[in-house]
Amino acid sequence: MLRDAAALEALEAATGQAERGQSAYWKDGVNTFEVKADGTVAGASVLGMVSRKTGPLHRLMHWVLQFPFRRMGARFTPLADSLDIGRLIARRQHRAYTYDLLRHSLTLALVRHFVPLDRLDEVSAVIGDGYGMMASHLLLANPGRKVIAVNLTKPLLLDMVFLRQAVPGVGIALVRDAADMVAALADPTVNAIAVQADNAAALTAAPVALAINIVSMQEMEPAVVAEYFRILRAGRAGRTAFYCCNKLWKRLSDGTEVSFSQYPWAAGDDIVLDEMCDWSQWVYSKTPPFWHYRKGEGRVIWHRLVWLAKDGS
């Protein structure tokens, strides 16, 4: 298992390599930005927007435009604290608290409302994060609980670069297999465990009690999605909650159709929440009428929180 700077350097060295988990969409997607182990980032990214406009006027504009979104999350009790965590991440990364960060703060509030995250002998996993946004929220909400981040190699490096800014002093381990995973879990100085998508099976060696996937399964081949479900159902935690927020339907650039209802859900899954995701369905901009609804086929974003039926249960 590699640690900290060595882990990031190994990810940087591997960025050009072919990956089985890369859909047609992501074969191009990873070429839209550059990231280095020393934290240098360049290029427009399909992973979301990072705005450096942090002056008082821009802050006020986001705060006003985010009002309806805060209301959408009002029914989840840890909302205020979750929003504070998001704002702290923005400050530490010298970026504006934009729509993308807000979506992740709202997700944190929702998840904390339903899923206890205080057990430190269990871990949370984020599949397909962006700029380490969800992993940062989870680590700052429950500092003693390890978080696993699974992603394609280059976006994973970007996740770790931003995570290091959001959580100063964070201990990072790059894990490649089950033996590495056991070592990382046993090491009290490791907070974040980075796993390249093609090594995702290493997760079966971890007690993953919460997994989160936000608008990324919609860009994976169905076989890759099925493998993630298999891994989560096989994992060592007695119970595993899965928060899944994705388009109901999408056609990938090679013509493959992916559908939320066709993910390998099981009859024994215990559904806690299952509805359209308001804060993903609406988006804001500075162009009137400021709040825009994503209309039309292929634009409906759904979220579901389930306790997964586990293997052998």
Nearer to ligand SAM, 122 or 219 (CB): 219
How many CB atoms lie under 10 A from the CB of residue 299?
Answer: 14
Binding mask 134-153 vs ligand SAM (x if CB under 6 A, - otherwise)? ----------------xxx-
Listed in order, strand segments (DSSP E) in the chain are: 2-3, 34-35, 41-42, 123-127, 147-151, 172-174, 192-196, 208-214, 241-247, 249-251, 257-259, 270-276, 282-284, 291-293, 301-307
Rounded Cα distance between 165 and 18, Å, is: 28
Nearer to ligand SAM, 87 or 187 (CB): 87
303 bridge partner residues = 245, 275
The answer to whether 96 and 90 are in contact (CB under 8 A) is yes
Contact status: 231 vs ligand SAM (CB under 6 A) = no
Count of residues engaged in binding ligand SAM, rule: CB under 6 A:
20
Of 109, 149, 193, 197, the one binding ligand SAM (CB under 6 A) is 197
CB of 223 to ligand SAM, least distance (A): 10
Of 73, 78, 86, 128, the one binding ligand SAM (CB under 6 A) is 128
Rounded Cα distance between 132 and 155, Å, is: 9
Nearer to ligand SAM, 152 or 163 (CB): 152
The answer to whether 193 and 146 are in contact (CB under 8 A) is yes
Sole window of 176-184, 210-218, 249-257, 271-279 interacting with ligand SAM (rule: CB under 6 A): 210-218
CB of 211 to ligand SAM, least distance (A): 11
5 bridge partner residues = none
Q: Which residues bind ligand SAM (CB under 6 A)?
A: 21, 26, 47-48, 100, 127-130, 150-152, 155, 197, 214-216, 219-220, 224
